Structure 1
Amino acid sequence: MSGVVPGTRVRRTGVVYLTLLAVGSVGALLVARRMQDPASVLAALLPTWAGAYLAWSTYRADRSEAVVACGPAEVADRLADAVRRQWEAEAAMRLAAPHPLPVAWRDADPVLAEACDAQGLAGRGDEIVDVFTRRVPARRLLVLGEPGSGKTLLLVRLVLALIERRATDDPVPVLFPLASWDPAVLDLRTWMERRLVQDHPELGARASDAFGQVTLAAVLLERRLVLPVLDGLDELPPAVGALALHRVDEALPYGCDMVLSSRPDEYRAALRPCGAVPARLAELAGIHLQPLGAEEVAAYLRDDAGGPRAPAAERWSAVVEPSDTAGPVAQALTSPLMVSLARSVYNPRPGERHERLPDPGELLRLRTHTAVSHHLLDAFVDAAYRPHPRRPCRWSADRARPALRFLARSMDRGRDGTAELSWWKLRHAVPAALGPVLAGVLLGIVAWLLEGIGMELTHHFTPDGASVRWDQRGGLGVVAAGICGGLVCGLAAGLAATTLCVLAAAPDVTAGLVLSRLADVTTLTLAGMVISGFALGHRPRPRRPAAWDRGALVTALVAALCYTAAFGNGCGAVHALLYGVAAAAIGADGVRAELTSPAARVRWHFSGQGLGRGLQVGLLIGAGILLEGLLSDVLSGGDGVQYIAPPHPLAAFWASLQTGTVFGVACVLVHGLRAVPVDLGTSVDARALLANDRRTLVTCVLTATVVGAVSIGIQGWCAVLSGSTLVWGAEAAGGPVWGFVVGLIPAVLTGLAIGIRQSAWGHYTVARCYLALRAGLPYDLMAFLTDAHDRGVLRRVGAVYQFRHIELQHRLAAPTSPSATADSPRAPQAPR
């Protein structure tokens, strides 16, 4: 749902109308065969399509008006609700037991934050919202703190408190983890817009025309209905710190509410760039988080262990002695992160016995606070995955640690400039050619089966129709593979289809059969590339010869040589070279990259431009067939044998028309099926996006099947009514069902190609299988990530995952992450 009732009603009305129109047109064509003048029925149908276009345009306009009927204020309200649910779930896991740590703060150094009219900002706990709303008149706050001091959790509490107090038309506080921002590539406002669309995909929808050609996310940012809470300036590379601060100042000048968090040293370095003018944020008030007190830490750990007099709490007596504030353990336990880790490692959960857990007294044997920190970080994974009688554990610590280490290293390398994990980006961890090759093999096999079964069924019900040739099947799958993944994908599909054809013809396999099939599949790969270039390219016009795709030219030359060797003449070489030149000049030009985020569903985007491009593809592909047929006598040496196209001019014309129609409809489908985002009112966690993205592929197949089969079937039936004796190379004795059955196959394959291309689920499936075999990751990776989140190892930020703290990620990602340091005892193991 889009959350707009009128839009739902308009969509349902449009679907019913189009269904009735298609059924009525097909029914009229079926009845026309029994009439004395079938052509009159066709002539009567043609004017109705003008009215159909008008009705469709009215439907789209009404739908657009319904979608934009909700203004920016309503969209902001929906965003606030989504953000609240997102961080309430996270806060329940991090802040609830036994109670939130009493984080306190003081005024920051005036050199770092010099708001002239800010009042005293010292406070603790839930006072953070009063500090921001009442004591900082400009509502611009800098939160400084050492590693693990609780900056992120304090910001989460601030976000939730601001949403709770939010009135109508107030900005929505949104927490943006800056670790995924590359300031050298994107300005802050553009990055925030993309982040909003990624975490809340409905904001990627186009806003009303009154706001221009922009998304709803851009409208919210432009109208200052989003309060940016920027977390982790220190997590950016030091070399871009000053640039990042400059970008923040550009995007959020004085007058814009904002919250920014960082470590003090990194922020000071960003303020003092070498050889450059520093960027200072005007009217920025600052607070500096304070270390936890020894008494507060002792009370927290004892309360979590069952109370001050509980046996498990007594184990902390010697460790958190208030008089020993200078020891390594006391120094390490001044940060909320280390206290939380110590609680997880040494305190029992409900139903556990403390006798089976490690003794916190072992921390006293460590000589530095760094060793204590490393020991707690190393022991945390064992503690998170220790077995529990009330909570079965699918993965042991020994199985989980290698997977977490691989994920931490992948995130630490920052291939795409982020320190986060999203399932749709796992495709970067597998060889680039693996996905297209597997998709091509799948399409080649499916096409071979569908074409063969379709021919068998047609021959069974219409004995006078086409004869079944299993050694000639699979070509449509090669076209779909070329659309889906270009040259590599198409050639993989062609190789799979050729292999099946050879096996079907065994033992009567000849060199001519193999060469002709190889020539066919390479030529059809080029045809798929042409369709992809026209449908998805930014500009479907020829490039300069210097920029042509040489791989397409080589493939065309190989196809021409194979045709020549198979037939002993020039049949097939003309259209192979024609498609090769077209693919080199257009097919590889401007094709859009894969979606960077998962799709939720698809919609049919009807446009005159799409129809125009489909017409261009149909004319180009049909011209190759027609030219081949008109020159067949010359190319074949006059032997009269039919090879690629019928030698008779009229038959060649109908063959070119019908073939061009198939490819033209495929181009319209590729251009028209567009991905749209999910509803803000639905969950935006990874599982929900994966399920929605998986449904996208099914929707693509179903939509393309209906539209393509009806379009191609009607065209084939019109060819019969107009006097053509052949339909798709077979006698027209199959009756009216013949054209629709044949049109069903390319429609299904085109929809499958579009779905694989636009949805991220297929790439994720390939990636998780590959990583399970090569890197030891669990096959059910989504369940593993969800379980790691529930155990506190990962935290969820929108639809992506991050490690609980950047220090834990860096520790796991280290080249050698031993379970014990040189001066520390062996890390505790989970009880057996």
Structure 2
Amino acid sequence: MGRRWMMTWALCAAVACGLLWVWPLRDPDRLSAVAAVLGTVIALFGVLSAWAWRAGRGRAHSSSEQVADAAEVLARTVRRQWEEEAVLRQLYDPAPLPLVWSDCSHPGVSDHRQLVGTAVVCRAGDPQELATAFGSLARRRLVVLGPGGSGKTTFAVLLMLALLRTRTTGDPVPVLCSLSSFDPARESAGNWLRRRIAADYPAMADAENYGASVIEDLLTEHRLIPVLDGLDELPERSRAAALASLNDTLPSDTPLVLTCRTADYVRAVAESGVLTGAAVLEPAPVRTSDALDLLRLATPPDSRRQDGWTALAEHLDRRPQAPAAQALTSPLMVALARSVYADHDNDPVELADTERFPTSADIERHLLGGLVPALFRRARRQCPARSWDPRQAHDYLARLAAGMHAQGTYDLAWWRLYQWTPALAGPWRRAGTWAVIMCAGLLLTTSFLVAVLDVPSRPEALRWFPLSVLESFAIVPMLGLSGLISRRERSLTRASAMAALVALSAGLVIPPRRGTTTAALPRRRSRR
């Protein structure tokens, strides 16, 4: 791969040097001839390079040693990635919430007991218990359910870290992928998973070190455990199809972990059936005493906030149905309370004020509102030289949230942010925008040549410029049709045919004008 890039850059450098060598001659006919020859050579080089790359790729199957090496490299990469993420999320500071997970009591969401294995009961805070419970499943397939904020993603991350910490050479590697980018109407679950792994872990796409089929081999040999997070983040019409695609395109003994909200999974199962061979877990409610014990441990022992937690505990003992008690049954709210109160000077006893917080929803809004300022205060302690403004960050996050809500997605894909701009949302609008940019650049270039370099005469420039502007806007149909290739064409064959049609149309739209190279091109004034 590196040699191909070096050859490409060397060819581009040779082309640039050739044009720079011919340019001082100021001969339009020779310039046109050289440009035509170089363009033909570049086109031929591109076709031959693509042909050679595809031919070499088809032969470079991964060996057993390459697959084993790739699995070990991937295991180290994934563990380092999620160990750092666990620190950022404070999952082990001071300890994970002692939440108990057991078989889901909802009927009809789990497969036959003979295919699933024994009943599962485990605590998320015990890595060894998590790894043992997952290994006891007959097919190592697991569905994690729960309402919003119940800790499904946290459970998946803790399970990944437990499997990685207890892993030995040859054991499968858990890899977490967000399902929000999966469209079952366009591709199968297997193809999406291979593409997602290649995008998230580019080292696996290194065909020279690991061969071209390493991701396929890792999946086929069950050396990977896909951890698919957020089935409920897909559009409602796609959830059942996504579940069916998992059953249809992945072998039934492929290790798998899937997370989803309970109500959404029940509806998807009613339409497409259960995930074959998978156990289904759900969490028990968080006990208020466990939540307060964890919050006390997260607070420095000599802090006056310890008295605030004690006062709040006494209040909840007297009023077990208080809004604070209801809010702290959610693992998400416990994590927010830990961020807002444990590391800062805020007094947690304020959560006992029923006049200020008459409902649990009021407490949830209060904790969400205090999260960004609390995190920014923590960031300032780590990087005192930075001058971050939490109010500005709040505005940016609100804008991103509004844009994601308008797009109907929970996944922030930064490379698609241009779609949030109306002027760039559609291919025809982008084509018109680029035509305007080209015309503006052409006007500035011509003005520079006429006014500063005094290269063409003004009458010649005035005749040449309108024709060039028309050519720029003639490119709009070509650019607009090109933008539709990836949106409306599914197969590579049809996309290639449409691309060829667009190129042919562009050649017909902008035919060469007779006498362009001798009459229309600007010439240098003769100087005596």
> What band does the TM-score fall into relative to the shorter chain?
0.7 to 0.9
Take 2:144 and 2:46, find their aligned partners in 1: how far apart are those partners?
57
Residue 255 (structure 1) shift: 1.3
| Count of residue correspondences | 491
Partner of 2:457: 467
Secondary structure, in 3 states, of the residue corresponding to 1:153? helix
Residue 526 (structure 1) shift: 5.0
Structure 1 pair 529–90 and aligned structure 2 pair: CA distance change class (3 A): same
Residue 155 (structure 1) shift: 0.7
Residue 361 (structure 1) shift: 3.6
Partner of 2:118: 119
**Structure 1 residues 83-117: Cα deviation after superposition (integer angstroms, max 9, x where no partner):** 44432332111114223222322233384324425
Task: Pick the structure with greater CA Rg.
Answer: 1
Residue 258 (structure 1) shift: 0.6
| Counterpart contact for 1:232–1:262, Cα < 8 Å | yes
Residue 453 (structure 1) shift: 3.1
| Counterpart contact for 1:447–1:473, Cα < 8 Å | no
**Structure 1 residues 601-641: Cα deviation after superposition (integer angstroms, max 9, x where no partner):** xxxxxx9x999997996687445x24xxxxxxxxxxxxxxx
| Counterpart contact for 2:296–2:309, Cα < 8 Å | yes
Partner of 1:528: 475
**Structure 1 residues 580-607: Cα deviation after superposition (integer angstroms, max 9, x where no partner):** xxxxxxx84775359xxxxxxxxxxxx9
Take 2:435 and 2:363, find their aligned partners in 1: how far apart are those partners?
53
Take 1:207 and 1:226, find their aligned partners in 2: how far apart are those partners?
21
Q: Tell me the amino acid that sits aligned with residue 271 of structure 1.
A: V
Partner of 1:336: 331
Secondary structure, in 3 states, of the residue corresponding to 1:272? helix
Secondary structure, in 3 states, of the residue corresponding to 2:247? helix
Q: Does 1:326 align with 2:320?
A: yes
Partner of 1:283: 277
Structure 1 pair 147–21 and aligned structure 2 pair: CA distance change class (3 A): closer
Q: Does 1:248 align with 2:242?
A: no
Structure 1 pair 240–306 and aligned structure 2 pair: CA distance change class (3 A): same
Take 1:318 and 1:618, find their aligned partners in 2: how far apart are those partners?
79
Secondary structure, in 3 states, of the residue corresponding to 2:309? coil
Partner of 2:492: none
Structure 1 pair 395–66 and aligned structure 2 pair: CA distance change class (3 A): same
Take 1:139 and 1:87, find their aligned partners in 2: how far apart are those partners?
21
Structure 1 pair 17–296 and aligned structure 2 pair: CA distance change class (3 A): same
Aligned match for 2:485, one of 592, 595, 610: 592
Q: Tell me the amino acid that sits aligned with residue 156 of structure 2.
A: L
Secondary structure, in 3 states, of the residue corresponding to 1:12? helix
**Structure 1 residues 214-238: Cα deviation after superposition (integer angstroms, max 9, x where no partner):** x976676566554221222344455
Partner of 1:267: 265
Aligned match for 2:98, one of 102, 108, 111: 102
Residue 316 (structure 1) shift: 0.6
Residue 292 (structure 1) shift: 3.0
Aligned match for 1:406, one of 399, 416, 421: 399
Secondary structure, in 3 states, of the residue corresponding to 1:317? helix
Take 2:22 and 2:198, find their aligned partners in 1: how far apart are those partners?
46
Structure 1 pair 70–454 and aligned structure 2 pair: CA distance change class (3 A): farther
Residues 657-672 of structure 1 mapped to structure 2, 5 A cutoff: 658=517
Q: Tell me the amino acid that sits aligned with residue 290 of structure 2.
A: E
Q: Does 1:360 align with 2:253?
A: no
Take 1:70 and 1:468, find their aligned partners in 2: how far apart are those partners?
62
Structure 1 pair 611–151 and aligned structure 2 pair: CA distance change class (3 A): closer
Residue 315 (structure 1) shift: 0.9
Structure 1 pair 622–104 and aligned structure 2 pair: CA distance change class (3 A): same
Partner of 2:83: 88
Take 2:203 and 2:421, find their aligned partners in 1: how far apart are those partners?
30
Take 1:217 and 1:452, find their aligned partners in 2: how far apart are those partners?
54
Structure 1 pair 439–315 and aligned structure 2 pair: CA distance change class (3 A): same
**Structure 1 residues 715-740: Cα deviation after superposition (integer angstroms, max 9, x where no partner):** xxxxxxxxxxx375456999xxxxxx
Q: Tell me the amino acid that sits aligned with residue 86 of structure 1.
A: Q
Aligned match for 2:304, one of 298, 311, 324: 311
Residue 385 (structure 1) shift: 4.8
Structure 1 pair 446–316 and aligned structure 2 pair: CA distance change class (3 A): same
Partner of 1:230: 228
Secondary structure, in 3 states, of the residue corresponding to 1:260? strand
Take 1:429 and 1:193, find their aligned partners in 2: how far apart are those partners?
28
Take 1:165 and 1:240, find their aligned partners in 2: how far apart are those partners?
36
Take 1:168 and 1:348, find their aligned partners in 2: how far apart are those partners?
39
Take 1:326 and 1:408, find their aligned partners in 2: how far apart are those partners?
35
Partner of 2:153: 152
Q: Give the unaligned 5+ runs of structure 1.
A: 1-6, 34-38, 461-465, 476-516, 534-586, 595-606, 627-651, 659-725, 735-832
Take 1:13 and 1:181, find their aligned partners in 2: how far apart are those partners?
36
Take 1:410 and 1:264, find their aligned partners in 2: how far apart are those partners?
26
Partner of 2:490: none
Structure 1 pair 619–373 and aligned structure 2 pair: CA distance change class (3 A): closer
**Structure 1 residues 157-207: Cα deviation after superposition (integer angstroms, max 9, x where no partner):** 222333455566655422223344454565433443454455446778999
| Counterpart contact for 1:232–1:261, Cα < 8 Å | yes
Structure 1 pair 30–67 and aligned structure 2 pair: CA distance change class (3 A): farther
| Counterpart contact for 2:482–2:502, Cα < 8 Å | no
| Counterpart contact for 1:324–1:330, Cα < 8 Å | no
Structure 1 pair 201–134 and aligned structure 2 pair: CA distance change class (3 A): closer
Take 1:237 and 1:96, find their aligned partners in 2: how far apart are those partners?
33
| Counterpart contact for 2:460–2:520, Cα < 8 Å | no
Structure 1 pair 85–19 and aligned structure 2 pair: CA distance change class (3 A): same
Secondary structure, in 3 states, of the residue corresponding to 1:320? helix
Secondary structure, in 3 states, of the residue corresponding to 1:405? helix
Calculate percent identity across the aligned residue pairs.
Answer: 29
| Counterpart contact for 1:452–1:468, Cα < 8 Å | no
Structure 1 pair 442–69 and aligned structure 2 pair: CA distance change class (3 A): same
Take 1:301 and 1:291, find their aligned partners in 2: how far apart are those partners?
17
| Counterpart contact for 1:452–1:470, Cα < 8 Å | no
Secondary structure, in 3 states, of the residue corresponding to 2:144? strand
Take 1:55 and 1:144, find their aligned partners in 2: how far apart are those partners?
50
Structure 1 pair 60–346 and aligned structure 2 pair: CA distance change class (3 A): same
Secondary structure, in 3 states, of the residue corresponding to 1:318? helix
Residues 257-656 of structure 1 mapped to structure 2, 5 A cutoff: 257-273=255-271, 278-307=272-301, 310-321=303-314, 323=317, 326-328=320-322, 329-349=324-344, 354=345, 357-365=346-354, 366-385=357-376, 390=381, 391=384, 394-397=388-391, 399-413=392-406, 415=407, 417-432=408-423, 439-454=434-449, 466-469=456-459, 472=462, 475=465, 517=466, 520=467, 523-529=470-476, 532=478, 588=481, 591-592=484-485, 621-622=510-511, 625-626=513-514, 652=515, 655=516
Structure 1 pair 30–316 and aligned structure 2 pair: CA distance change class (3 A): closer
